[in-house]
Structure formats: structure tokens, C-alpha cells
Amino acid sequence: MERLEITKMNRRTFLKKLLGIGAGGMLATSLSYYYARFIEPRQLTVTHHVISHPLIPEEFTGIKLLQFSDVHLGHYYGLKRFRRIIQKINELQPDIVLFTGDLLDEPNKYPHIEAVASELSRIRAPLGKFSIYGNHDHGGYGTNIYRDIMEKAGFRMLVNEHTLIRKARSFIAIAGGDDMMLGKPDFSKMIKSIPDSTYTIVLLHEPDGAMQMSRYPVHLQLSGHSHGGQVQLPFIGPLITPPLSETYYEGFYQINHLTLYVNRGLGTTRIPLRFLSPPELTVFTLQHQA
């Protein structure tokens, strides 16, 4: 009888533990989903980096560049949140603002085109605002929609071309490539006629293009597209990365002489989740390296 009671108690204890583990797992899963769906996508991070190079003119030491990317305005990202981003950008007081593509998730279905242009026009950058195409900007019949928005907002569109930013008698180059997935990128055309020994920054939506870009005399590539994987797991990394961001998906990389930085972007696409990959604004401070 005593053994029977002990057996029953052990079985009961085992079942309680099993139910507890199951309930705990369900709770953890629910909490993780809630965090990834409603908390982390709104936890904006601002990362600051110093970029040093001998070809950066002394006059450009202290100049701040701000990169933002992959807003994906639409069903999961609204104008109210976007307004707060614009305000934050202006609070950071950048000299140059660079947008590396994917403004609207589905351009031909987005109803507030004029409002987006109006918000972007509020961004202040005394040395200029520049943008490139991402795959979503070309997709959904968005090529002209996106260009009209950015031009109305005072951004210079760079499509296989470059511009020189001048301070006193010195300058740096900012070049922009067309989107690699849905556009017609031409790297040679993009940097053609940039004076020798000019520090050159390239905007290219897809980061894996750095493998090709490293064959050219450019120094810093800024990309987006990956969303940092959107969902990462400890010791595993991103679960899914889109095409052309499978090798390089977050942060700094060195490819021969080329430094690449991949911004995690602001919005989400396909699934409205972020986990261990919070949205990001990136500020780069230039410094002449003696």
C-alpha cells in the first residue's frame, strides 16, 4: 500500500512538472511573440561610429552622416511612427542624410503619398539629402512614385551616378547605384570621372553587392535590405535573409580595401516581427586620418 501511494505521488509529481513545463513553454512562446511583434519593432536604436581614412579631407573631420533605410511604410508601419523618426533625425543634427532604399512596402497601394513627401521634406541636412532605389521602390509599379516623393522632399536621387560634396577647396564623393534586384545597376558609370584619390562613399541597397563593388576605387559602402535578418536567434544568427544579403547582413565588414556597413532598417516586411534585430538609425562621424 505504501509503495502504491509513493508511485501515485511520483506519477502525480511527474505530471505536474510536465504540465508546468508545457505551460511555461506556451507562456514563453506567447511572451516572445508579443515582444517580437509589439515591443522590439518600436525600440529604435541609434548607433554612432567614427570613420577614419587618410583620404578624408581635414575640412571634413567632424562632419556627420546619418543613414536610414527600409522604412516599408504600409500596413505594419504608419505615418505616426514615421513622424517620430523624422523628429529624431533632426535632433541628431546630421550634416548629410542618406536613405538606402525601400520607402514604401507596396508603392502603388499606399494612400498617403503626399504626406510622406511632406514628412521627408522636414529633414534638415545642410550639406544635402541623398537617396537610392531599393527593390520595393521599383516593385509595385513604384519607380516613378518613389522618385516623385524623394524629389518633392528635397532628396537628390542617385541612380548609377555620383555627386561631389564640397567644403572650402576639398570634397568627397557620394555615389549611388540602381537596385540590383529590379533595377539596372552600372558600377562603372556610377563612379566615372570621380577625381583620383577622392574619398568615395557608395550607396547600394543590397549589401552582397560589396563583392563586386570592392573591385572599384571606393572606400565605404552603405547598404540596407537585410533588416538584420529581422529575427535572429542566439548562437544561430538570422533565420532568413533576403537575396543579396545572405553573406553580409548587419554591421561592419571589410572586403579588401572596401568597408561595408549594413543598416538594420526601420520597418518590417512579410512578417511584422523583429527579434534581436531592433530598428536602427546610424550616425557616422568622418575623421581625417593623418
25's grid cell: 513553454
Q: For residue 9, is pLDDT > 60?
A: no
pLDDT tens column, 126-151: 999 999 999 999 998 999 999 999 99
pLDDT tens column, 14-40: 443 433 334 334 434 778 888 999 999
237-238 and 232-233 as β-strands: parallel, antiparallel, unpaired?
antiparallel
> What is the pLDDT averaged over residues 160-169?
96
3-state secondary structure of 21: helix
The three-point CA angle 89-277-274 to 5° equals 100
Is 44-286 a CATH 1.20.1270 domain?
no
DSSP 194: P
Give this prediction's pTM. Answer: 0.90
Concatenate the DSSP letters of all residues of 125-158 into one string. -TT-EEE---HHHHTTTTHHHHHHHHHHTTPEE-
Strand blocks (E) in the chain: 45-53, 64-68, 96-99, 129-131, 156-157, 161-167, 170-176, 200-203, 220-223, 232-233, 237-238, 251-255, 258-262, 280-288
- Predicted confidence at residue 130, as pLDDT, reads 98
User: Please, what is the average pLDDT of the chain?
Assistant: 91
